[in-house]
Amino acid sequence: MSNKSNGGILKAAEPFACGGTAATFASCVIHPIDLAKVRMQLFGQMNPGKPIPSFPTIISNIVKTDGISGIYKGVDAAIGRQMVYGTARIGLHRSFSDILVQRNEGKPINFLAKTLSGMASGSIAVVSELPLTSHWFDCNPIPWHLLLKEETTKMYLML
């Protein structure tokens, strides 16, 4: 291959690489917050009428029981999802938008075109991710029955 064709491939891959990297990094940053949110929701469902512990309380209890790495439990699944879904969603949106700008004679595209580009890229990205997530849920249903066991509920009850 010539340098010209390599440059074209790299240019086409750029929005996917940058988008996937950004989505993965964002997922790593937000994961502790999302983990605390889920635990707060579970606490509220499992303890109706009791006040839900605050975000700092949840995070500090996780760190006390599991160490600092405890706030990153499950981050591997979040990263895997973003490496597929985030990469496809952001990369396709940029690619679709670039094509629409070319068809619009180099002028910026309007809000409707941006919206349709986002909807199309999101739809395709979800379909590309489905084999990963749907297979996992089919093979490993959420073990709600485990939440009834004392060892598991202690983690959510903050005892």
Higher-confidence residue of 133 and 68: namely 68
- Give 151's contacts (C-beta < 8 A, 6+ positions apart): none
pLDDT tens-digit map of 24-71: 999 999 999 999 999 999 998 899 999 999 999 999 999 999 999 999
Please report the pLDDT score of residue 120 as a whole number.
95
Would you say the pTM of this structure is higher than 0.85? no
Q: Indicate the DSSP class of residue 50.
A: S
pLDDT tens-digit map of 80-101: 889 989 999 999 999 999 999 9
| Helix residue ranges, H only, the chain | 3-46, 55-66, 75-81, 87-103, 111-139, 150-157
Please report the pLDDT score of residue 127 as a whole number.
83
Higher-confidence residue of 131 and 37: namely 37
Domains assigned to the chain:
3-157 (1.50.40.10)
Other Cβ atoms within 10 Å of 48 Cβ, number? 6
